[in-house]
Chains A and B, each alone.
Chain A
Amino acid sequence: MDWQPIWITLKLAATTVGVLLLIGTPVAWWLAHTPSRARVWVEAVVALPLVLPPTVLGFYLLIALGANGVVGGPFQSITGSSLAFSFTGLVIASTLYSFPFVVQPLQGAFEASGKTYLEAAWSLRASKWDAFLSVASPMAVRGYLTAIVLGFAHTLGEFGVVLMVGGNIPGKTKVMSIAIYDHVEALEYSQAHLLSGGLLLFSFAVLLMVYAFNRRLPVHVS
């Protein structure tokens, strides 16, 4: 049994979710509160990965991250290594690909609690940052949970983008979904069964836990 694809997959999903939360939170906050007309444009861009075939996204990413690409070129001249066909490249690709799955639940949660509670917090001597941490964030806890689970699960399940951007380098960019594909191609059905069944059970268990936990959360924002 080759554990490497499993390990890479989990590492990729966890890293991606971390990056997504860091970037997605301010974007979702801005979308939820801005009166700017640019909002609809940003919303449309954020939602693009939902409708585009992963190969389209993967194709453009491959060009951008490649040695002559707008991102990959400067990266290579600074670090001396390529972004395409690397784990870092995979994280960038997954982050873009799973972006709407994190931004949308967060935006919904921030919109649901609205500005009213923030105003109350400000009037109680909380600065904007303090009010975000002590009121908006705990009130959005369900949104965060949904965002984390969807972001993680969606990264686990991607295939097209990682194949285009990451290639299929064992020990480096070969994730579970690609390993399963390889096993099927090679008619190694028992190994394919093991990985597929494992992924199925794991995904189900995570979702079950989240939904059960979500029900018990005390915060209901009406």
Chain B
Amino acid sequence: MSTIQSRFRIQYKQFELDTQLEFPDEGVTVIFGRSGSGKTTLLRCLAGLERSPTGYMKFGDHVWQDATHNTFVPVHHRPIGMVFQEARLFPHLTVRDNLNYGYRRIAPEHRKITFDQVTDLMDLHPLLDRRPQKLSGGEQQRVAIGRALLTNPQLLLMDEPLANLDAQRKQDILPFLTRLRQEMKLPIVYVTHSLSEVLQLVDTLVLMQEGKSVATGPANEVLSRLDLAGKTGPSSVGSVLTTTIAEHEAEFGLTRVQYRDQSLYIPEQPLAVGSSLRVHLLAQDISIALGKPVTPTSVLNTLPATILEIGPTDAQGSSVNLKLDVGEPILATITRKSLAHLKLKPGMQVYANVKAVKMVHEIEEY
């Protein structure tokens, strides 16, 4: 499998970016971190909009930057599509001309993704003859994504493309991003401070903190690492499970999803049986029992689990995070008192009670 390799170091007045990364050049790679962690700067380095004096970057077999050989491919010669936080549509051009701006500038033999395909995919037909200023924020961002796609990029870079949109607009755009991931075999690097936004998309996760990339890997692996639990932010401490819709129980308003040989009940989803759905299990929503409950309980979702690791005590000293194996690694937050009371040790077989399974749109931002 080919990869994107990079090494950037830039010193600014207040801040230093110092990263070394390698991630697959396929699927969706999310660069995640709080504001000021350097994730946008990292993306701009990948695009060639910032130039690290000692930097190195290789996309598949192509070296885009190598300071030791004085190689630096300028932005306009890189086969990238870039979507900025603000749509940056050219105000003097109509939507149609904005879309065509990059399309006209690529060689005709590279025009595999066509104007009609993109306008269909992003549902842009009604907007074509309008001026960017007359569009809503969500519409502008759809045009910006379409404009980037029309350059037929080999790599799509997105810098918090949903950050300036309200919750409803985000919900309007997300299906387009999901379609993009499914229909175009295009690697995407996506910068965000909100994991929930990209939960359905993320394959690889890069965690940024104070200018450094502190973790890189498959999303669930990174998210369920105990040593990073505090760094992903309170509402993000948890794990992502990729599940398949097994059946709908309409009378109870529930949907049963499956992963491996386990089942979870979640609020009914408007998805066909067999389609895939990612769910987020927050560490705070998972409690531990030593045995399967003998008396009836209201908890629907109980998973057999093995304790893998016990993390350090949190800052207040009252709770700890556990890493459990329920077929996939997940995190659970329990009190230190419970830990002592239940005499929990790594390797023990326990049951994880899942009090809630979050969908993308239910997760609060932090």
Q: Hey, which chain B residues are within 8 Å of A220, CB to CB? A: 91, 133
> Which of B49, B74, B91, B147 has a CB less than 8 Å from the CB of A124?
B147
Cβ–Cβ contact A138 & B92, under 8 A: yes
Are A123 and B131 CB-contacts (below 8 A) given A116-B84, A139-B91? Answer: no
Chain B nearest CB: distance from A143 CB in Å?
Answer: 13
Residues of chain A with a CB closer than 8 A to B74's CB: 122, 127
Does A8 sit within 8 A of B, measured CB to CB?
Answer: no
Residues of A within 8 A of B91 (CB): 139, 219-221
In this assembly, does B88 line the interface, its C-beta being within 8 Å of a C-beta of chain A?
yes
Residue pair B88, A122 in contact (C-beta under 8 Å): no
A135 to chain B: which residues have CB within 8 Å? Answer: 90, 92
| Cα A123 to Cα B47 with chains together (Å) | 8
Q: Is A117's beta carbon under 8 Å from chain B?
A: yes
Q: How many residues of B contact A (CB 8 A)?
A: 23
- Residues in A with CB closer than 8 Å to B23 are none
- Residue B331 lies at the interface, judged by CB distance under 8 Å to chain A: no
Answer whether residue A120 sits at the interface, using C-beta atoms and an 8 A cutoff: yes
Give bound CA distance, A134 to B102, whole Å.
12
Q: Are the CB atoms of B75 and A218 closer together than 8 Å? A: no
| B84: chain A residues within 8 A (beta carbon) | 116, 119-120
Is A139 a contact of B131 with CB atoms below 8 Å? Answer: no
Which of B86, B106, B133, B148 is the one whose CB lies under 8 Å from A116?
Answer: B86
Indicate which residue in B90, B131, B133 contacts A120 across the interface (CB closer than 8 Å).
Answer: B90
Chain A, range 110-157, C-beta contacts under 8 Å to B = 116-117, 119-128, 130, 134-135, 138-139, 141
Nearest Cβ in chain A — how far from B111, in angstroms?
Answer: 12
Q: Does B101 contact A (CB under 8 A)?
A: yes
Name the distance in Å between A63's Cβ and chain B's nearest Cβ. Answer: 45
In the bound complex, residues from chain B placing their C-beta under 8 Å from that of A117 are: 88, 90
A218 to B97, CA, bound (A): 15
Contact B133 A122 (CB under 8 A): no
- CB pair B102–A119 under 8 Å, yes or no, is no
Task: Please name the residue on chain A nearest to B91 by beta carbon.
Answer: A219
Contact between chains at A123 and B105 (CB < 8 Å): no
Known: A120-B82, A218-B131. A126 touches B76 (CB 8 A): yes
Nearest B residue to A217, CB-CB: B92
Residue of A nearest to B107 (CB): A125
Max chain A Cβ within 10 angstroms of own Cβ: one of B91, B105, B106: B91
A122 pairs with B76, CB closer than 8 A: yes
Query: Does B354 sit at the interface, judged by CB under 8 A?
Result: no
Task: List B33-87 residues whose CB lies under 8 Å from chain A.
Answer: 47, 49, 74-76, 80-82, 84, 86
B residues with CB within 8 A of A: 47, 49, 74-76, 80-82, 84, 86, 88, 90-92, 101-102, 105-106, 131, 133, 147-148, 151
A-B contact pairs, 11 of them (CB 8 A): A116-B86, A117-B88, A117-B90, A119-B88, A120-B84, A123-B102, A123-B148, A124-B147, A124-B151, A126-B105, A220-B133
